[in-house]
Amino acid sequence: MAQHTNSGNPNVDLAYRRKKNAEDMKHQVISFALMIFLTLVAFFAIGYDKFSPWFSVPFILLLAIVQVGFQLYYFMHMSHKGHELPALFLYSGVFVAFLTIWAFMTIVWW
Amino acid sequence: MHVEEKLTAETFPASPEKATLEGKNKFLGFWFFLGGETVLFASLFATFLALRDRTAGGPSSDELFKMSIVFIATMLLLTSSLTSVYAMYHMKNFDFKKMQLWLGITVLLGAAFLGLEIYEFYEYVHEGLTFSTSAFASAFYTLVGTHGAHVAFGLLWILTLMIRNAKRGLDLYNAPKFYVASLYWHFIDVVWVFIFTVVYLMGMVG
Amino acid sequence: MSTVARKKSLIWDYLTTVDHKKIAILYLIAGGLFFIMGGIEALFIRIQLAVPNNDFVSAGLYNEILTMHGTTMIFLAAMPLVFAMMNAVVPIQIGARDVAFPFLNSLGFWLFFFGGLFLNLSWFLGGAPDAGWTSYASLSLESPGHGIDFYVLGLQISGLGTLIGGINFLVTIVNMRAPGMTYMRMPLFTWTTFVASALILFAFPPLTVGLIFLMMDRLFGGNFFDPALGGNTIIWEHLFWIFGHPEVYILVLPAFGIFSEIISTFSKKRLFGYSSMVFATVLIGFLGFMVWAHHMFTVGMGPIANAIFAVATMAIAVPTGIKIFNWLFTMWGGSIRFTTPMLYAVGFIPSFVMGGVTGVMNATAAADYQYHDSYFVVAHFHYVIVGGVVFALLAGAHYWWPKMFGKMLSEKLGKVTFWLFFIGFHLTFFIQHFLGLMGMPRRVFTYLPGQGWETGNLISTIGAFFMAAGTIVLLVNIVITTVKGKKAEADAWGDGRTLEWAVSSPAPEYNFAQTPLVRGLDALWVEKMEGKKGLTPAEPLGDIHMPNPSFLPFVISLGLFISALGFMYHNDHSWGLMVGIVGLLITFGAMFLRSVIDDHGYHIHKEEIIEAEKKGAKA
């Protein structure tokens, strides 16, 4: 069915797939290392009192967004094909989420 | 191919989670659900942001938060996200035992995270921040508590899957279930990234 | 095996069914009952307001009736009736044998049902909610008794069901389409169902969160909306309308879809501007999320926010206008048959346009300060909801009745219903525009004489009785049809264009003996034009896989119902907490069973299908 086998020999395909899976796994370990690093930087940026909040707040938000990108695209495989509709609906959710948070931060004030 | 057919590493498809129509439906339906969850948590975050300075004389976030606990909890949950990736890696390679092992580690890390969170709430209550202290308190406990409830549900879910399929091994009936559970687990981590950033770190700088 | 599975009592069959066509019937019956209850509440409202200084009901009871009328009509009548149409038609329209998640589909129904039941229990347990269907926190936190708690928990349960139903339709439409059924060949009702389901997915979570907050504040000592402890009641308003405005489109988009099908069928023409219709549907869905605060112009968000939301709101008139013109152009030059559904469609266009025009008037933020909370607004949203949604549901019920039940409703009685309802509708609500402009505020339980409101209110009340009479005629029609109605053909109206008219009426439980090959927009019409009687099959005849029925959806929903009762009383009675926890255990236990018991479904064998198809063809 959805088996994308090219050669007739299942063992060759298996070897190929295993290699591909291992490669994916390598990317995932690298993104994990980066995520840990970003987390450390974020905690550090807040702990370091020479930064003004005007710098550190947008900075850690940016780090969070980058880190979530790693989660979505590597850990949750959104970079793989067949994720067009998941991406569409996730980003639609993000759009509504953004509007909601924006509204609550600007027009809810007393 | 029939969903319960006994498969080998050779006959196991490259994307077992999407090899059957049922699997495809689960996969897509669950992603859509995560789209809805995004909005659910956004509403909680939005409310928290609107109310985070409304302490009504009670403790405020920078007086209260214990960053060491938060840091350890973050590391635990991030690592559990990686271990569930390992579990899915072994699922794709049709290595059921290793998948179970890594799922087991994921559950342990998740349980440790949940334990820390309960301890943290317990501490805060003792320092005078109960659910009813202020609007900030309600918003904080509801946002972080909803995430914690998701963690607890995820733990029970993964455990149920592990025990139910322990003797059966991998097939195309349960592969989508494992895959979807791991998606859920990653999503919990995504939410936590924003919680430790927006609630805790931003709470420290005001 | 399948023959064994089918030999059950009728009630047990419906309690456990996962068949989308039977779930449609359940939605239709439950939604219809709630529609009648909401209608009776409306009559009480109109009787009370018929003359000044009336004391037909007390002020407090009036508030309860008014709240329950709005809540019931939106959540327990319009929503499930829309879901009835979707369930009855959409899977067949896309050439599918089933929905993507038959179990969840059934769960969605039972959650809605128990939620609605819970809400209406309030009448017998100390009084219904009385803070309006919007239940603004500043008011609802102060409401004594448990009325508001019934509202909060009941809507929470039924909202969960709606969310599940929405996801089911999204996946069904994406994954279950027959070969050749591309997105741009989907019938418009399927398209509107798709967009409405997406709106459900994103609009219901804010409601869930708002209801959680209100529940926390009322039952568990939360302070989200209590200003004394830093809370803010405006948060409820925002969350409610972030849900509430898309909700309007969740209801009205499927209504547009129903009319698109009907107008095209009875004009014997392809829908004019199909792609622009699809585009307009998606655009309305998108814009629908950026306009919620137009319900809150008078809150004091400031001129910039008001201006932004005003402009965004007016923008929605553009795609809606596109649709109106496309319907008109579909009829233009068509060979029109004025059947009952078509009468509703033709009546809908001017009625809905009026609702749209007053909508743009309300969207003008500065002018809205005058209209706000007056009968002008009441008139506006009834023109949209009744003139749009209810007309569509009545039209759809007449149109698809043969497909759902296998018998044609009487056209004669159908037309009587239409005229009574149509005239009654305009009598009731047209005059309310002017009552509003003359200063009559909404939600008042009575008024003093001498303000020039007497005649208008009396006319309005008379109109309401016309609508009631129309509904009674419809019920009579249903009874007569059920007893001695004419058996419907597969293509019941003779001019069917879409796939549902290719299968027998009612459809067999597997829908299609062979999955069809779709060769164009209006797939059945394409085949008809080539002189063929049936569809082109995409597969050989073979065994068909079917899902097993299950009682668990009922149990899961019942658990939440019990749990809600327990938690509601946990501050008054010591048993409350216990009952609440037991209810949750029932729910989670049933979910656990669902998880650990394998359910692979069963097969209907080829021979049985051949047998069933022969029978269907003979009858």
> SS3 sequence, C181-199?
CCHHHCCHHHHHHHHHHHH
Which residue carries 């169902």 as its tokens? C193
Q: Mean pLDDT per 10-residue run, chain C (619 residues)?
A: 59 95 97 98 97 96 97 97 97 96 97 97 95 95 94 97 97 97 97 97 97 96 94 96 96 98 97 97 95 94 94 96 97 96 98 96 95 96 97 98 96 98 98 96 96 96 98 98 92 95 94 95 95 91 94 97 96 94 97 91 92 72
Provide the H-helix boundaries in C485-604. Answer: 523-529, 552-568, 575-596
For residue B104, being part of any structural domain is answered with: yes
Backbone angles phi, psi at C487, to 5 degrees: -65, 135
State both tokens at B132. 């009813």
Q: What's at B38, amino acid-wise?
A: T
CA distance B58 to C543: 67
Contact A92 C198 (CB under 8 A): yes
Contact B183 A76 (CB under 8 A): yes
CA distance C461 to C51: 9
Question: In the beta sheet, which residues pair with residue C408?
Answer: C486
Which residue carries 């959104």 as its tokens? A78
CATH number at residue B153: 1.20.120.80
Query: C-chain residues within 8 Å CB-CB of B21?
Result: 175
Contact status, residue C544 vs residue C508, Cβ threshold 8 Å: no
Closest Cα of chain B to C91: distance in Å?
15
Name the nearest CA neighbour of B197 among B131, B144, B156. B144
State both tokens at B99. 């998948």
CA distance C369 to A54: 39
CB burial of residue C51 (10 Å; 0-12, 13-18, 19+): middle
Contact A94 B71 (CB under 8 A): no
Closest Cα of chain A to C290: distance in Å?
8
Nearest neighbour of B11 by CB, restricted to A10, A72, A82? A10
Query: pTM score, two decimals?
Result: 0.95
Contact B46 A56 (CB under 8 A): no
Total domains present in chain B? 1
Query: C-chain residues within 8 Å CB-CB of B24?
Result: 175
Is residue A109 pLDDT above 80, yes or no?
A: no
Q: Which of residues 104-163 of C touch B (CB under 8 A)?
A: 163
CA distance C552 to C558: 10
Closest Cα of chain B to A102: distance in Å?
8
For residue B100, being part of any structural domain is answered with: yes
C517 in helix, strand or coil?
coil
Q: Give the per-residue pLDDT at C614.
A: 83
Contact B81 A71 (CB under 8 A): yes
- Give the total residue count for chain C: 619
First to last CA, chain C: 25
Residue-wise pLDDT for A40-55, tens only, equals 999 999 888 888 888 8
Query: C-chain residues within 8 Å CB-CB of A103?
Result: 238, 242, 293
Backbone angles phi, psi at A4, to 5 degrees: -90, 70
Chain C positions touching chain A (beta carbons under 8 Å): 170, 174, 198, 201-202, 206, 232, 234-235, 238, 242, 289-290, 293, 301-302, 305
Q: Which of residues 28-87 of A touch C (CB under 8 A)?
A: 85
Contact B135 C205 (CB under 8 A): no
Q: Give the per-residue pLDDT at C125.
A: 95
- Annotate A42-51 with b (16+ C-beta within 10 A) or e (fewer): bbebbeeeeb
Query: Which chain B residue shows the shortest CA-CA distance from A17?
Result: B14
Q: Is C220's Cβ below 8 Å from some Cβ in B?
A: yes
Q: Give the per-residue pLDDT at A5.
A: 47
Contacts of A among chains (3+ CB pairs under 8 A): B, C
CA distance A33 to A36: 5
CA distance B87 to B78: 15
State both tokens at C380. 């506006």
CA distance C441 to C378: 9
Residue C333: how many other CB atoms lie within 10 Å: 10
Nearest neighbour of A108 by CB, restricted to C206, C238, C290? C238
C516 in helix, strand or coil?
strand
Query: C-chain residues within 8 Å CB-CB of B138?
Result: 213, 216-217, 222-224, 231
For residue B2, being part of any structural domain is answered with: no
**Mean pLDDT calculated for residue range B134-160:** 97
Query: C-chain residues within 8 Å CB-CB of A98?
Result: none
Q: Give the per-residue pLDDT at B7.
A: 83
Domain housing B92:
18-52+62-205
Cα–Cα distances in Å, from C611 out to C503, C514, C604?
15, 14, 11
Contact status, residue C44 vs residue C30, Cβ threshold 8 Å: no
Best residue in C156, C167, C247 for a mutation probing chain B (most B CBs within 10 Å) = C167
ipTM: 0.95
Q: What are the DSSP calls for B34-98, one per residue?
A: HHHHHHHHHHHHHHHHHHTT--TTS--HHHH--HHHHHHHHHHHHHHHHHHHHHHHHHHTT-HHH
Closest Cα of chain C to A28: distance in Å?
29
CA distance C278 to C187: 10
Contact C238 A96 (CB under 8 A): no
CA distance C338 to A47: 74
Is residue B1 pLDDT above 70, yes or no?
A: no
CA distance B179 to A90: 18
Domain-wise residue ranges, chain A? 1-79, 81-110
Nearest neighbour of A14 by CB, restricted to B10, B31, B71? B10
HEC string of C386-453? HHHHHHHHHHHHHHHHHHHHCEECCHHHHHHHHHHHHHHHHHHHHHHHHHHHCCCECCCCCCCCCCCC
Best residue in C177, C234, C298 for a mutation probing chain A (most A CBs within 10 Å) = C234
CA distance C342 to C361: 29
Q: What's at C615, amino acid-wise?
A: K
State both tokens at C156. 């929470």
CA distance B96 to C316: 53
Q: Is B40's Cβ below 8 Å from some Cβ in A?
A: no
Cα–Cα distances in Å, from C52 out to B41, C48, C208, C440, C444?
48, 9, 39, 12, 11
Q: What are the DSSP calls for C230-243, one per residue?
A: T--THHHHHHHHHH
Contact B131 C592 (CB under 8 A): no
Residue-wise pLDDT for B91-140, tens only, equals 999 999 999 999 999 999 999 999 999 999 999 999 999 999 999 999 99
Which residue carries 């792609």 as its tokens? C275
- Annotate C182-204 with b (16+ C-beta within 10 A) or e (fewer): eeebbbbbbbbbbbbbbbbbbbb
Q: Give the per-residue pLDDT at A11.
A: 66
Query: C-chain residues within 8 Å CB-CB of A110?
Result: 232, 234
What are the structural domains, with CATH classification, of chain C? 2-508+516-539 (1.20.210.10)
Contact status, residue C535 vs residue C502, Cβ threshold 8 Å: yes
Q: Is C230's Cβ below 8 Å from some Cβ in B?
A: yes
For residue B8, being part of any structural domain is answered with: no
CA distance C353 to C261: 19
Query: B-chain residues within 8 Å CB-CB of C208?
Result: 40
CA distance A90 to A83: 10
For residue B4, being part of any structural domain is answered with: no
Contact B42 A101 (CB under 8 A): yes
Q: What's at C582, amino acid-wise?
A: V
Is residue B74 pLDDT above 70, yes or no?
A: yes
Contact status, residue C151 vs residue C210, Cβ threshold 8 Å: no
Query: Which chain A residue shows the shortest CA-CA distance from B42?
Result: A97
Nearest neighbour of A1 by CB, restricted to B1, B183, B190? B1
Contacts of B among chains (3+ CB pairs under 8 A): A, C
First to last CA, chain A: 59
| pLDDT band at residue A1 using 50, 70 and 90 as cut-offs | very low
Best residue in B132, B163, B165 for a mutation probing chain C (most C CBs within 10 Å) = B132
Q: Is A106's Cβ below 8 Å from some Cβ in B?
A: no
Question: In the beta sheet, which residues pair with residue C486?
Answer: C408
Contact status, residue C24 vs residue C87, Cβ threshold 8 Å: yes
β-pairing, C486-487 with C602-604? unpaired
Q: Is the peptide bond before C506 cis (omega within 30 degrees of 0)?
A: yes
**Mean of per-residue pLDDT scores for chain A:** 87
Contact C201 B139 (CB under 8 A): no
| pLDDT band at residue B205 using 50, 70 and 90 as cut-offs | confident
| pLDDT band at residue B11 using 50, 70 and 90 as cut-offs | confident
CA distance A19 to C577: 55
Contact A36 B31 (CB under 8 A): no
CA distance B193 to C55: 59
Contact B36 C229 (CB under 8 A): no
| pLDDT band at residue A7 using 50, 70 and 90 as cut-offs | low
CB < 8 Å & 24+ apart, contacts of C300-306: C301/A107, C302/A107, C305/A106, C305/A107, C306/C365
Residue C605: how many other CB atoms lie within 10 Å: 15
For residue B11, being part of any structural domain is answered with: no
Q: Give the per-residue pLDDT at A110.
A: 63
CA distance C361 to C458: 26
Q: Give the per-residue pLDDT at A81.
A: 87
Question: In the beta sheet, which residues pair with residue C545?
Answer: C603
CA distance C536 to C95: 11
